Amino acid sequence: MGIPQFKEVRRAYGFDDVAIAPGSVTINPDQTDIAWSIGDHQFKIPVIASAMDAVVSPDTAILFGKIGGLGVLNLDGVWTRYEDAREVLAELTSAPLDKATPLFQNAYAHEPVKEHLIGDCVRKIKKSGVICAVAMTPQSTKRYAPIAVEAGADIIFVQSTVTTARHISKSYRGLVFSELVESIKVPVIVGNVVTYGATLELMETGVQGILVGVGPGAACTTREVTGVGIPQVTGTMDCASAREEYFRKTGRYVSIITDGGIRTGGDLCKVFASGADAAMLGTPFAQATEAPGRGFNWGMATPHPALPRGTRIKVGTKAPLEQILFGPSNVTDGTMNLISALRMGMSMVGALTLRDMQQAELVYAPDIKSEGKVFQMQQGRN
């Protein structure tokens, strides 16, 4: 007699577990259309820079916008706490590793977010002529969102480790996304989620984008600290399935944005083959010469006063942002010229658009990166 099963464990897949099958038709890479949009805002490339203090400053948000993407500024970060944030960043990045976390906790707790700095940052970005996107936690959204929108912010991101439409709390009335969407009148993007049900419920509140990813980022330790998370391919596919069901029922299309864990052009291609409309990256852009983190990156939950769920990591400096995105690449590991890699991947499966790329076949192939590569693994790659 077999032992009764308490629960079923479902298999889930990350980027290294799958491969994209070639298509029966191929096209020229320069014929691919990789544009995407949120609300009335159009973008030339489907890539967003994460709202991490080491990645996006007002200056780098402007740079991202000018090259066709979107950089999201963290309104809970140092840029809105300190008049001279770069001085604080210099201290955070120069501290020895064993002193880093307490230093982060103190730096983010020592100074409160200042409303005038929110306005100053937003106005600086808007004055440059690019689309301004800002991020905040659900706890601070009621206060910060109206200030940011009044100053000119075009898109609001509301981010926490795990976000749902139904948050239970004894201490306060939680953020109601339908009320937020109705009150601020700009596109709202919410995350993070990894499940079908939570995605569907959030879409029903009227938000225009969903961020997918719990713990995959290079600087995030959520999976180690709490054990919670789903690998990005499965998470993206489940959330994309909710998008398709919601679109079928309502005719309203809500973008799926895969957030975190993307290291190479191959990963970026797999994001869209899994069903995403755009990708959010942090650490690859922290390696840009213009990045404010000076060769370091850290998770948004690193400064948490009681339970940090991120760490400072040394990522080095690779190249200017434009070269990381558009090349030319001087390395062979897929970490540069990400946009050309995406176009090349689309061309190999015959995908003219990102919606076409979502239909590409994925196969389970855990050895895809190592098959036949014994000499590469022995010598390493540049």
What does the DSSP assignment read for 39-75?
A: TTEEESSSEEE-S-TTT--HHHHHHHHHTTSEEEEET
The pLDDT tens digits of the residues spanning 320-358 come to 999 999 999 999 899 999 999 999 999 999 999 999 999
What average pLDDT does range 91-110 have in this prediction? 87
Other beta carbons less than 10 A from residue 108's beta carbon: 21
Other beta carbons less than 10 A from residue 28's beta carbon: 8
Quickly state the pLDDT bin for 122 (edges 50, 70, 90).
Answer: very high
Q: Is the pLDDT of residue 43 over 70?
A: yes
Superfamily of domain 20-379: Aldolase class I (3.20.20.70)
The pLDDT tens digits of the residues spanning 225-278 come to 888 999 999 999 999 999 999 999 999 999 999 999 999 999 999 999 999 999
Residue 237's nearest CA partner among 10, 6, 4 is: 10
Quickly state the pLDDT bin for 171 (edges 50, 70, 90).
Answer: low
Residue 117 pLDDT: 98
* Nearby residues of 143 by Cβ (< 8 Å), 6 or more positions away: none
Q: DSSP letters along 278-290, please?
A: EEEESHHHHTBTT
Query: What are the residue boundaries of the structural domains of the chain, listed by start?
Result: 20-379
Q: Is the pLDDT of residue 169 over 80?
A: no
pLDDT mean across residues, the chain: 93
Quickly state the pLDDT bin for 19 (edges 50, 70, 90).
Answer: very high
Quickly state the pLDDT bin for 108 (edges 50, 70, 90).
Answer: confident
